[in-house]
Structure 1
Amino acid sequence: MKILKFLFILLLVVSCGGKENHPYTFYYWKTQLKLDQDEKKALDQATVPYVYTRFFDIDKSAGKFQPVAVITKDNSFQTDKQIVPTVFITNQSMYRISAEEIRFLAKNIHDLVQKKAQDYHLKINNEIQIDCDWTAGTRNDYFKFLKELKRVSGKEITCTLRLHQVKDKSQTGIPPAEKVYLMCYSTSSPLENSNKNSILDVAILKSYLSKLDDYPVKKIEVALPIYSWGIVTNHLEKHKLINALSRKDLENPSFKKISDHEVEIMKDGFYFGSFLSKGFRIKVEEISEEQLEEVVHFLEKKIPDFNVIYYQLDSKFVSNRKF
């Protein structure tokens, strides 16, 4: 009887928690806004009424700020979700930026977001999310920019939060935002020689977030990866990425299997849009359900309540995946 009682309690504990208990939605990160059938179905089924949509990037070239890869829209992009405009800003754009440039940048980002929303009749939310990998050297000016953007837009300004910005918060500082989005991926560089999964290594993530419960911003949403890629290594051990590859793509008679996720090319040819030579290796990195569940269970001990935003909405990543 005691054994049955113990098993019941254990089952109850295991069943409580997990990513299915957290409302979820997606990031949309393509330049052309369009949805195929699988993407629309996945978005319609998402339980958060927003979709986080990249509008454009900002970079600085020859001393001038430039919007890069500004969105266009296809008629297939139809959704009942409210859109949260998201803008990626390179960290170099924040180096040695003057007060006048901060005002200029904030105003022009807000104006361009509004213009694109009006041009394409997008139903946007009262929030703008800024994605920037700020550092100790750019923190002060970046934080001033966030405050200025809030002032000129009158909107809620939120920002992404990378793992190192949590671990090294005394150096990188705390952004002036009431809500941040914790990016639980990119735990290492895919261009390094390593046997770790560079998209998500759970042990590395846990070490970076060991003191997450002490982070001063208490409203934290969680971005989880569902994307994949292939890392191509040539004869000189140089690497390049091919996006959206899966292990199924490695099933090719011209490839010799090295492991479950790595092959060697046995014949020169065009593969996945690139010319790859004999002897090159391709290693695929994907994210399993078990990895995502382990991350969520870990975060549930650190954050009392959070939504999940999956990166990113693409039929290659959402088909046959449980959310």
Structure 2
Amino acid sequence: MKKIFSILILILFFSCNKQENHAYGFYYWKTKLSLKESEKDVLKQSTLTNLYVRFFDADKVDGKFQPVSVISKSENFRSSKHIVPVIFITNRIFLYIKDSEIDFLAKSIYSLIDKRIKEFGFADASEIQIDCDWTAGTKNDYFKFLKKLKALSHKEITSTLRLHQVKDKVTMGIPPVKKVYLMCYSTSSPLENSDKNSILDIQILKNYLSEVQNYPIKKIDVALPIYSWGIVTNHFGKHKLINALSEKDLNNEDLEKISENEAVVRKDGFFFGYYLNKGFRIKVEQIPEQTLDEAVNFLDRKIPKFNIIYYQLDERFIRNRNFNR
């Protein structure tokens, strides 16, 4: 009887300490809002009520602030998810910007967001997410912009947070928001000669986020990568990216595989929509499930509770994926 009681206690202990799966959702980062059947199915199964949609980029073109790649919507787009507008703003916008220009930028961005929401027939957004890789030199003006946008919109303004902005928080500053989205990808440049996976390297992630539990903003959600690409290197060591390549794409008779994720072009020709010369090298970077699991397990020890937003919702990236972590 005593033995049975001890076993029951152990079962209860492990049940109570078992980490529940994180609620999860997706970013949508194309220029036209339209879902294929496989994307609809995966989105429907997601456990967050939000879909994070990039509405447009904001950049400085010929000295003027301009919206770039403004999203359009297919007539047959339907989703029960609440649409959260995401705006990517280039860091250079905030270089040498004047206070009057910050006001103009905030008004222009909010006006275009509001216009698109009404045109698309979406429910009014309660949150606007701003994505900007701000630096020590632009932080003050970026933070002013966030405050101005909040005052104008009366919405919850949230901000993405990159790894270096966590590690160097004293230099980089803390954005004036109540919630951030920690971008756990782009751990290094894909254009460098390196044996590391530039999309997500666990050791680099752990190094940058070793003190993330001390970050002043406690409401943190986590963005994880499910995308892939190919890095093409020519004879001069120059690189370019081909989006959405996977290791299986290297199974081509005109490519000589030199490892599971690398190949050399055997002869001149068109590959994946690009003309490549004989001798060019192709390195595919994609993120295995094990790496995502390891990232989540590490973050579970650092951040009390968080949701996961996968980047990005695309038929090419969602096949055979496990989203429950």
Smaller-chain TM-score range? over 0.9
CA distance in 2, matches of 1:263, 1:76: 40
AA at the equivalent of 1:47: T
What is the aligned partner in structure 2 of residue 179 from structure 1? 179
Matched, 1:291 2:291: yes
Q: Whole-Å Cα distance in 1 between the matches of residues 33 and 115 of structure 2?
A: 15
Q: Alpha-carbon deviation of 1:124? A: 4.3
Residue equivalent to 1:46: 46
C-alpha distance in structure 1 between counterparts of 2:77 and 2:282, whole Å: 34
CA contact (8 A) 1:31 1:69 kept: yes
CA deviations on 1:73-111 (whole Å, 9 max, x unpaired) are 112321000000000000000111111001100011000
2:18 alignment partner, one of 16, 19, 35? 16
Unpaired segments ≥5 residues, structure 2: none
**Structure 2 match to 1:118:** 118
Identity percentage over the alignment? 62
Between Structure 1 and Structure 2, how many residues are aligned? 317
Question: Shift in Å at residue 12 of structure 1?
Answer: 3.9
Spell out, residue by residue over 1:254-273, the C-alpha distance to the aligned partner (whole angstroms, 9 max, x if none). 01010000000101111111
Q: Distance in 2 between matches of 1:272 and 1:305?
A: 41
User: Quick one: distance in 2 between partners of 1:266 and 1:100?
Assistant: 57
**Secondary structure of the residue that 1:320 maps to in structure 2?**
coil
Matched residue type, 1:293? D
1:222-237 equivalence runs, <5 A: 222-237=222-237
Q: What secondary structure does 1:257 align onto?
A: strand
1-structure distance, mates of 2:316, 2:61 = 34
Query: Which residue pairs with 2:97 in the alignment?
Result: 97
- 1:128 is paired with a residue whose SS is strand
Distance 2:286 2:250 in 1: 13
Q: Specify the alignment match of 1:320 in structure 2.
A: 320
The one-letter code matched in structure 2 to 1:263 is A
Q: Is the 8 A contact 1:131 1:159 kept in 2?
A: yes
State how far apart, in whole Å, the 2-side matches of 1:220 and 1:118 are: 29
User: Is the aligned partner of 1:129 residue 2:129?
Assistant: yes
What secondary structure does 1:43 align onto?
helix
Matched, 1:80 2:80: yes
Tell whether the 8 Å contact from 1:89 to 1:130 is kept in structure 2 after alignment. yes
Aligned equivalent of 1:275: 275
Partner of 1:149: 149
Equivalent residues in 2 for 1:194-205 (5 A)?
194-205=194-205
| Paired residue secondary structure (1:176) | coil
SS in structure 2 of the partner of residue 299 of structure 1 = helix
Q: Are 1:262 and 1:283, in contact at CA under 8 Å, matched by a contact in 2?
A: yes
Q: Name the SS for the 2:264 alignment partner.
A: strand
Q: Does 1:208 align with 2:208?
A: yes
* 1:252 alignment partner in structure 2: 252
The residue number in structure 1 matching 2:27 is 27
Structure 1 unpaired stretches of 5+: none
Q: Which amino acid aligns with 2:205?
A: L
Structure-2-length-normalised TM-score: 0.94
CA distance in 2, matches of 1:165, 1:322: 29
Partners in 1 of 2:111 and 2:259 — Cα distance?
Answer: 50
